[in-house]
Amino acid sequence: MLKQQENRQQQAKVLRVFRKVHRITGALLFVFFFIVAVTGLLLGWKKNSNGYLLAKSYKGSSTDTKNWLSIDSLSRKAIHYLHDSVDANLTGTIDRIDFRPEKGMVKILFNDHFTALQLDASTGALLHIETRRADFIEKIHDGSVVDHYLGITSGSFKLFYTSVMGAALLLFTVTGFWLWYGPKRMRARK
């Protein structure tokens, strides 16, 4: 009987510690959990946002890649359109070019801002100018927005942020489960 009493007291102590850890961690990271939750929801809905978060992919004139312009030519045209149709002060450093063979289109994304251009891969004509809202939201979601605006090329803030948030989520899962299961276990042993 005494052993059972000590065991229940030990379990109650563990529950109090877990409750305190759960409460303090939740209070300290509330804003970050809120941001991760909201941005995660938005990213989940990006393809169903009627083009607001993620623009639709427009069609070029030919899906036959033999008819496509060179990468150099498409890049030069994209930088020209960027400065002519969007903002002459934006940097033209290209981050990547997404090729969409089934659409006959290339999407050109820039390094220092969230503008992307869709060009007809065969003619180089401008099909669409988009603001990459989903990319911005993704950077908020994973913390790389801080690296982006502070110019941290190593991505060290993102690594720190995702490590803290991942560890906190793991801690919340363990403590939350134990806060649910622990009392049930104690009642079953009465």
pLDDT digits (tens, 9 = 90+) for 44-57: 999 999 999 999 99
Q: Say whether both 117 and 164 belong to one domain.
A: no
Indicate the pTM of the whole model.
Answer: 0.79
Q: Say whether both 37 and 70 belong to one domain.
A: no
Q: What residues make up the domain containing 175?
A: 2-46+139-188
Q: Say whether both 73 and 125 belong to one domain.
A: yes
The pLDDT value recorded for residue 120 is 98
If you compute the radius of gyration of the chain from its CA atoms, what whole number of angstroms results?
A: 26
Is the separation of the CB atoms in 92 and 79 below 8 Å? yes
Exposed / middle / buried, residue 155 (Cβ in 10 Å: 0-12, 13-18, 19+): middle
How many domains is the chain built from? 2
Q: Say whether both 41 and 75 belong to one domain.
A: no
The pLDDT value recorded for residue 1 is 63
The pLDDT value recorded for residue 175 is 86
